[in-house]
């Protein structure tokens, strides 16, 4: 016969797990001394379990916050925009990575991809602020703006407000070019370069050597 004893693992008045003690092959079932010892061990796990649950809740909150900042890309006449966010691993799932596509007057679109340093709630919050600033600057500058100038303005704002410690980003303007398709102008602040994939032919890196990241020490 086999006997089984279940003991609750309680954190902040809530049962978060069950611990079991069993006997088999004719051994006597756990007595009160053994159960008290197990209960003492479980009580000692309360603090680390509480910390683990707090970190899990913070991670879930940061993930929801980060995903809420990622936009629905606009529909364009004559072009198709698609976006996909895939973390490299579970540790990188929460952080300051973002992309954005903002429709501007005249049919142009401001495209951005970037990363605020960090993999926590602070990085996700800073990313939301940086993205909002850049979106506003792009709208204010309009479709004829120089993306490098827009990033310079963003750098000044972020450093002045102390929003983030280090940012890499590519900011581009995609403008309709009647009779020829689309014209793209971009600026790169320390980010991996965007790639141009043609229907047939080689894959090219766009842009020259990137400028330093935003907020980088000088």
pLDDT bucket at 1, cuts 50 / 70 / 90: very low
Q: How crowded is residue 147: how many other Cβ atoms within 10 Å of its Cβ?
A: 23
pLDDT bucket at 64, cuts 50 / 70 / 90: confident
pLDDT bucket at 11, cuts 50 / 70 / 90: confident
Q: Given a cut of 70, is residue 176 above it in pLDDT? A: yes
Q: Which residues contact 194 (CB under 8 A, 6 or more apart)?
A: 113, 170, 172, 186, 188, 205, 206, 207
pLDDT value for 109: 92
Q: Given a cut of 60, is residue 91 above it in pLDDT? A: no
Domain with CATH 3.60.40.10 in the chain: 76-205
Q: How crowded is residue 78: how many other Cβ atoms within 10 Å of its Cβ?
A: 8
Q: What is the DSSP letter of 209?
A: S
Mean pLDDT of all residues in 160-175 = 91
CATH no. for 76-205: 3.60.40.10
Greater model confidence, 205 or 1? 205
115-151: pLDDT as tens digits: 998 877 788 888 889 999 999 999 999 888 999 999 9
């Amino acid at each position: 016969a086999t006997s089984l004893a279940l003991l609750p693992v309680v954190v902040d008045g809530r049962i978060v797990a069950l611990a079991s003690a069993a006997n088999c092959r004719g051994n006597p079932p756990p007595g009160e001394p053994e159960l008290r010892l197990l209960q003492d061990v479980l009580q000692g796990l309360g603090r680390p379990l509480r910390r683990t649950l707090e970190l899990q809740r913070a991670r879930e909150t940061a993930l929801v916050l980060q995903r809420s900042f990622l936009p629905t890309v606009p529909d364009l006449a004559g072009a198709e925009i698609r976006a996909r966010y895939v973390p490299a691993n579970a540790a990188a799932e929460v952080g300051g990575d973002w992309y954005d596509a903002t429709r501007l007057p005249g049919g142009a679109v401001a495209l951005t991809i970037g990363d605020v340093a960090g993999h926590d709630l602070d990085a996700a919050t800073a990313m939301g602020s940086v993205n909002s600033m850049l979106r506003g600057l792009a709208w204010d500058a309009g479709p004829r703006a120089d993306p490098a100038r827009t990033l310079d303005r963003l750098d000044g704002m972020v450093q002045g407000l102390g929003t983030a410690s280090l940012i890499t980003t590519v900011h581009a303007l995609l403008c309709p070019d009647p009779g020829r398709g689309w014209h793209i102008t971009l600026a790169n602040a320390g980010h991996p370069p965007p790639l141009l994939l043609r229907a047939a032919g080689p894959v090219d890196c766009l842009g020259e050597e990137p400028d330093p990241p935003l907020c980088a020490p000088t």
